[in-house]
Amino acid sequence: MSSPEDQAVAFKNDGNKAFAAHDWVTAIELYTKAIELNDKDPVFYSNRAQANIKSEAYGYAIADATKAIELKPDFVKAYFRRAIAYTAILKSRDALRDFQKVVSLNPADKDAKLKLEECKKIVRKVEFLAAIEVGDEPSAAEGLDLDSMVVEPEYDGARIENEMSLEFITDMLERFKNGKKIHKKYVYQIVIAVKKIVYDEATMVEMEIEDDAQLTVCGDTHGQYFDLMELFRLNGLPTEKHYYLFNGDFVDRGSWSTEIALLLYAYKWLRPKSFFINRGNHETDDMNRVYGFEGECKAKYNERVFKLFSESFSALPLATLIGKKYLVLHGGLFSDDKVTLDDIRKLNRHNQRQPGQAGLMMEMLWTDPQTEPGRGPSKRGVGMQFGPDVTKRFCDNNNLTAVIRSHEVRMEGYEEEHDGRCITVFSAPKYCDSTENKGAYINIGPDYKLDFHKFDAVPHPNIKPMAYAAQSGLMGMT
């Protein structure tokens, strides 16, 4: 009969196989079984840290890497993985210390030296941006004379006069599919027009589904333009009677974030009363700097385009209430049971452009459900987690059927948790080209019944995720 130590190694080896198959959830479960049998092997913790990084459970990854380092103080791989996890949650100074340790332990590692230098650049940039930050910076639209901006005669796309048109959107869909851009004048027009529309909307938009209409709720799309096109192919394009709600995180990571952002904004301009966009945690400046959207804007257009998008992101609503039955918000629920829908209604999001480290806005964008009752520390290292009892109390207190949120990969594209009262929908299949998940969307008709649909990823041009991230080598595929 094999010893517990031998059984633990067998679980670890099976975990490695699951990891190689991009099944992060199974890998974590197997590494956990190995740890339960032998909690003194630092490799088990380090491997689980890597699987947690792939699952974006950066807080858990930091804890695992830290335990591995306690067991083996010179464990280079554990320092490296902890540094990656710190980088992912924007704790660049902590990451810098770990990269320095990696290089000191293994001076011949050229890759580690390169990542250390990249991390130093991030720290310098963060410090520079903090030093020049001003409270009332003028809008990037100031001094932009759109009337005198010329669109060259040779521009071969449809044109915007004063209003968005279906003809322009149809042409834009094809241009983007073929790797073309739209003229920067039209980019400016679209973002400026939509910023005004969403600024004037409530922090929590309240809508009803008419008798002859249908609403589709989509989760994260993360710059995966060709997968969004597949969703539209299967489910139909937005129309006056086919409403859509995109629940945040439509930019970053995937390398067609400007295309998705411009398309969603064009539909919002065309149909402001039947097309809805919630803000996600990636529609924020600090995330855009790390995860690629800022770099993509600059590469495809210019810095002013990014600044205009940034202003528009801070104007986006934080939640949508569907038929007084479903609260749709990107992250999840709150650290205080006393929070009500009225508190969301009263929240003045315009006084706080970025979500910060605490408060209602941060929690709406960042929190996650957990299976255990009560509340717990975030597996991400940001925000917190809430249990089924928290969801039940919130729904009961606010007469809600359920909360619909996004923010996390689900292998089947969606998941009903907390006795069906917390629903996660995620619309980026084969997320970052590295997770074998399906995408999903939810159709809701006038009867307010939820109709779930799953779909698979489709091929896309050979451009990797994070292609425009300033430190794509540092972040890898996490």
Give me the mean pLDDT over the 324-333 stretch.
98
For the four alpha carbons of 385, 388, 393 and 395, in that order, the dihedral sign comes to positive
* pTM of the shown model: 0.91
- Identify the band that residue 113 occupies on the pLDDT scale cut at 50, 70 and 90: confident
Closest CA to 247 of 208, 207, 277: 277
Assess whether pLDDT exceeds 70 at residue 474: no
Residue 478 has pLDDT above 80, yes or no: no
Interatomic CA distance for residues 387 and 81, integer angstroms:
29
**pLDDT of residue 473 exceeding 50:** no
> Is residue 252 scored above 50 in pLDDT?
yes
The CA distance from 208 to 276, in Å, is 12
Angle at 387 between CA 382 and CA 388, to 5 degrees: 150
pLDDT at 191 over 50: yes
Mind listing the pLDDT tens digit for each residue in 118-175? 888 877 877 766 665 655 678 988 989 998 999 999 999 999 988 999 999 999 999 9
Residue 211 scores a pLDDT above 80: yes
Question: Helix or strand or coil: residue 418?
Answer: coil
Mean pLDDT for 59-80 is 95
pLDDT of residue 135: 59
Average pLDDT for the chain: 93
pLDDT at 475 over 50: no
Distance (Å, whole) CA 380 – CA 170: 39
- Where in the sequence of the chain do the CATH 1.25.40.10 domains occur? 4-132
Please state, in angstroms and as integers, the Cα–Cα distance from residue 402 to each residue in 168, 274, 417, 421, following that order.
37, 22, 10, 4
| Fold designation for 4-132 | 1.25.40
| CA distances (Å), origin 112, targets 46, 81, 84 | 17, 11, 11
Structure tokens at 342: 């009225």
* Tokens read off for 106: 């293994």
Using alpha carbons only, what angle is made at residue 311 by residues 247 and 472, rounded to the nearest 5 degrees? 70
Residue 369's beta-bridge partner residues? 386
The pLDDT value given to residue 351:
86
Task: Give the number of other CB atoms < 10 A from CB of residue 174.
Answer: 11
DSSP state of 164: -
Res 477 pLDDT > 60:
no
pLDDT given at position 356: 77
Higher pLDDT, 353 or 273: 273
What is the arithmetic mean of pLDDT over 211-217?
A: 97
Comparing 475 with 44, which gets the higher pLDDT?
44
Query: In the chain, pLDDT over 70 holds for what percent of residues?
Result: 96
pLDDT at 329: 98
Give residue 94's pLDDT. 92
Report, as an integer, the average pLDDT of 317-324. Answer: 98
Q: Is residue 407 predicted with pLDDT exceeding 90? A: yes
Q: Which two tokens stand for residue 297?
A: 């804007």
* Residue range(s) occupied by CATH 3.60.21.10 in the chain: 166-475
- pLDDT reported for residue 472: 46
User: What pLDDT shows up at residue 471?
Assistant: 53
Tell how strand 422-425 and strand 402-405 pair up: parallel
Average pLDDT score over residue span 426-439: 95
Q: What is the pLDDT confidence band of residue 189, given thresholds at 50, 70 and 90?
A: very high
pLDDT band at 348 (very low <50, low <70, confident <90, very high): very high
Helices and strands, counts by H and E, the chain: 18, 14
**Residue 476's pLDDT is what?**
40
203-219: b (≥16 Cβ within 10 Å) or e? bbbebebeeebbbbbbb
pLDDT score recorded for residue 295: 95
CA angle 7, 8, 10 (to 5 degrees): 65
Please provide the size of the chain in residues: 478
pLDDT of residue 7: 94
* pLDDT at residue 10 is higher than 60: yes
Question: Which residue, 478, 441, 433, 426, is CA-closest to 460?
Answer: 433
Sign, Cα dihedral of 436, 437, 439, 443: positive
Is residue 427 a contact partner of residue 218, using CB atoms and an 8 Å limit?
A: yes
Tokens 């005669």 belong to 153
Top-confidence residue, 62 or 87: 62
Q: Are 284 and 355 in contact (CB under 8 A)?
A: yes
Catalytic residue list:
282
β-bridge partners, 219: none
Encoded amino acid at 50, one letter: Q
What is the pLDDT at residue 130?
A: 66
- Specify whether the CB–CB gap between 454 and 412 falls below 8 A: yes
- Can you give the pLDDT at residue 132? 58
- The CATH superfamily assigned to 166-475 is Metallo-dependent phosphatases (3.60.21.10)
